[in-house]
Amino acid sequence: MVPTLGRTLILLALLAASAGSIVGFATGARPSAAGWKWARRLAYAFAAFMALANLTMEYALLTHDFSVSYVAHVGSRAVPTWVSIVSLWSSLEGSILFWGLVMGVYVSVATWRKAGDHPEYMPYAVGVWLACGAFFSFLLAGPAQPFATIPNPALDGPGPNPLLQNHYLMVIHPPFLYSGYVGMTIPFGLACAALLVGRLGNDFIRPLRNFLLVSWIFLTCAIVLGGWWAYEVLGWGGYWAWDPVENASFLPWLTATAALHSAMLVERKGVLKGWTVILVLATYLLTILGTFMTRSGVFNSVHSFTQSAIGPTILVFLAAALLFSLVLLALRVDSLGSEGRLETGPSRDVMFLVQNLLFVLFTFTVLLGTVFPLVVEALRGAQMSVGRPYFDKLSVPIGVALLFVMGVGPALPWGRATKQQLRAALLPPLLGACVLAAVGFALGVRNLWTILALLFGGFTAQVTLSEMFLPVRQRMRARGEGFAEAFRQAQTRGRRRFGAYIVHAGAVVVIAAIAVSSTMGSSKEVQLNQGETTTLGPYQLTFAGAEQLSEPHRQSVLARVDVSKNGRSLGTLLPRMSQYENQREPIGSPAVHTGLTEDLYLSIHNFDGPSVGLLVLINPMVSWIWIATAIMALGGLVALVPSLRGSTAAAPAAGTAAVALEGSS
């Protein structure tokens, strides 16, 4: 019964999406009110069927209906209810079903919000969205069927991958990632619509940028949540390993970040329209590449889903989307035109370009490192992994250069800067640069790149803060307002600008924290008998004994480790090894004592009779990565709010200095 219902809903979603896509394109080509109405109805129908199919699957998971093939793969009576619920996205078929749900939500929200605006663009956009929706419905109807009927269902199932049952972050990381990934469909559809119409006006770049920003916020959080999950669960003490699947989420983030910046130049000066559209299209294509990477079994990664038949299908879709995008670009990119000219001298304009090129360079670097092993495999029949040295060597200079641009760009005025302006803009922040680098040096930083990161980080932090509060100071001076009033006024009037600088401030902290945590940590491995003590830095660790813990879905051995710092007790840390029902290998879970300046990280290697093998790490500043990401996401939200309300905080005329604008508004 349930499998049949599920399959019917999927087929109806496929039908609605395909029909809606055709109607959308047809209405775009020959506008008609009836066509547009039907395109919208079919978009909502697609979303509704997908939502119902997801509800059906949740019902099957919660009632342990093992006649549904997906439940038979990942369900288990032994797991807690929350694990049953999140099992929806714990394996291949379910994750694509969930993907369909997220897509339905995005498509219906975007259709609903923009239904009355942009009549010439929107039918095309709906057509593109639903074409993508039709593809994912097709995957669910055939190659990745979650609702196949199991004729003689077993009484119990194996439960999801134990790594996924191990931590609450696994509940939130995938939904964020899918919201980031799938959300890129919306700007993709809007950019394709702009190409199909042959125009990208100021009115249309704004919704494009807003939807891009929404997905960007989700993707930013998802990438860092993934790193956080790896840090809290995988037990090797790091948060980023340049694993192909981590790269898969990072690649579209890079192009999306570049596009968010170039979209500002489109809005402000009417230039870089084609370039921005290319970046938006590339972002979507990279999300599909990432989907292929995680789900084809081609890449060797901790994240890979099991090998499956959907690899070729996704590849065909990727190739088709690539071809569609390229042909569309080649035919129409010139018709987008350009309304202004970019400055060439030292100016904020040029720094925007430099920033964009650095992001694209970063994208190619990561893409090359990710795909290169496959090239070698195809040409030479041998395998390799490029490994961290390649990525570290190349990404560190690019990251530091981006930090530099993030400082110098906003410090410079729009348009060509005079020598005095340059001096006035670039000299004062050197103070921040020297202060931060000196503080780092005093605290023992000796790594050249880390010092450079702190130097540019200090510069950028000072520029960011002074730019953030510049309108506030101007109001206080010009109108005699108090700080609170001036702040409120300035930030409601210039919320986009304010949000952007919050993001920058967060980014500075993230980069500095990464630089410090990756070069300033210390570690040690010890084998401790019960009662034995070891020290690392200011920490004393005493192995107080092992403890067995029995839960329905797992048996765990915990090591009780009493921790004190400089003689003051910090309590007991409990790293564990867990043996899950129906799984062969035990899974280790580290224990982390999180602090603002550093984390103490304990991970069990082995239990050898009465003694325990422990990996002990001191990871400085890691929590700042999580905190600063929250700041970045907050900044993104701040930048989003006024534009959602339709008020335009800052829509400056080309070439006007931002300063004058914000101050006089």
Partner 1 sequence: MATALTSASAPRVNRRVLVAGLAIALPLVAVLVANLGRDPHSVRSPLIGRPAPPFRLVPVGGGAPVALESLHGKPVVINFWATWCVPCFQEHAALVEAARSLPAVQFLGIVYEDDEAQTGEFLRQRGTAYASLMDKDGKTAIAYGVFGVPETFFIDPEGRIVEKHVGPLDRGAILSLVARARGGGR
Which of 12, 182, 329, 511 is close enough to bind partner 1 by CB under 8 A?
329
Which of 384, 431, 478, 630 is close enough to bind partner 1 by CB under 8 A?
384
Residue 331 CB partners (closer than 8 Å, separation 6+) = 195
Q: State the Cα angle at 413 between 411 and 416, rounded to 5°.
A: 130
Residue 164 CB, shortest distance to partner 1, in Å, is: 19
- Dihedral, CA of residue 269, residue 270, residue 275 and residue 281, to nearest 10: 120
Which of 381, 444, 480, 567 is close enough to bind partner 1 by CB under 8 A?
381
As a whole number of angstroms, the distance between CA 490 and CA 472 comes to 6
Region near partner 1 per CB under 8 A, out of 173-181, 265-273, 493-501, 528-536: 265-273
Residue 199 CB, shortest distance to partner 1, in Å, is: 11
375 near partner 1, rule: CB under 8 A: yes
552 near partner 1, rule: CB under 8 A: no
Residue 281 CB, shortest distance to partner 1, in Å, is: 9
Comparison of 588 and 642: residue with beta carbon closer to partner 1: 588
524 near partner 1, rule: CB under 8 A: yes
Residue 419 CB, shortest distance to partner 1, in Å, is: 27
Comparison of 292 and 459: residue with beta carbon closer to partner 1: 292
Which of 332, 496, 504, 576 is close enough to bind partner 1 by CB under 8 A?
332
374 near partner 1, rule: CB under 8 A: yes
549 near partner 1, rule: CB under 8 A: no
Which residue is associated with the tokens 């509060």? 469
Which of 202, 383, 522, 569 is close enough to bind partner 1 by CB under 8 A?
383
Query: What amino acid is encoded at 269 in this protein?
Result: K
342 near partner 1, rule: CB under 8 A: yes
As a whole number of angstroms, the distance between CA 229 and CA 569 comes to 27
Closest CA to 354 of 400, 412, 402, 396: 402
236 near partner 1, rule: CB under 8 A: yes
As a whole number of angstroms, the distance between CA 54 and CA 59 comes to 9
Residue 158 CB, shortest distance to partner 1, in Å, is: 22
Comparison of 322 and 544: residue with beta carbon closer to partner 1: 322
Comparison of 149 and 335: residue with beta carbon closer to partner 1: 335
As a whole number of angstroms, the distance between CA 279 and CA 329 comes to 11
DSSP for 555-583, please give it: EEEEEEEEEEETTEEEEEE--EEEEETT-
Closest CA to 314 of 283, 294, 288, 282: 288
As a whole number of angstroms, the distance between CA 21 and CA 134 comes to 8
Chain-centroid distance, C-alpha 127 = 26
DSSP for 64-77, please give it: T-TTBHHHHHH--T
Region near partner 1 per CB under 8 A, out of 56-64, 328-336, 455-463, 627-635: 328-336
292 near partner 1, rule: CB under 8 A: yes
Which of 80, 142, 337, 571 is close enough to bind partner 1 by CB under 8 A?
337
Residue 414 CB, shortest distance to partner 1, in Å, is: 18
Which of 377, 532, 547, 551 is close enough to bind partner 1 by CB under 8 A?
377
Residue 157 CB, shortest distance to partner 1, in Å, is: 26
312 near partner 1, rule: CB under 8 A: yes
Considering only residues 182 through 201, tell me which ones interact with partner 1, judged by CB under 8 A. Answer: 198
Closest CA to 553 of 581, 588, 574, 587: 581
55 near partner 1, rule: CB under 8 A: no
As a whole number of angstroms, the distance between CA 654 and CA 648 comes to 15
The half-sphere exposure of 620 on its side-chain side, counting CA atoms within 13 A, is: 16
DSSP for 403-448, please give it: HHHHHHHHHSPSSPPPHHHHHHHHSTHHHHHHHHHHHHHHTT---H
Which of 33, 34, 155, 389 is close enough to bind partner 1 by CB under 8 A?
389
Tokens of 118: 């942009």
Region near partner 1 per CB under 8 A, out of 23-31, 129-137, 374-382, 640-648: 374-382
Comparison of 262 and 556: residue with beta carbon closer to partner 1: 262
Residue 552 contacts residue 656 (beta carbons within 8 Å): no
Which residue is associated with the tokens 């690649």? 251
As a whole number of angstroms, the distance between CA 105 and CA 110 comes to 8
Strand partners, 437: none
Total residues interacting with partner 1, rule: CB under 8 A: 62
Region near partner 1 per CB under 8 A, out of 98-106, 127-135, 300-308, 623-631: 300-308
Give contact residues for partner 1 (rule: CB under 8 A). Answer: 198, 236, 241, 271-275, 277-278, 289, 292, 296-300, 304, 307, 311-312, 315, 318-319, 322-323, 325-327, 329-338, 342, 360, 371, 373-378, 380-389, 524-525, 605-606
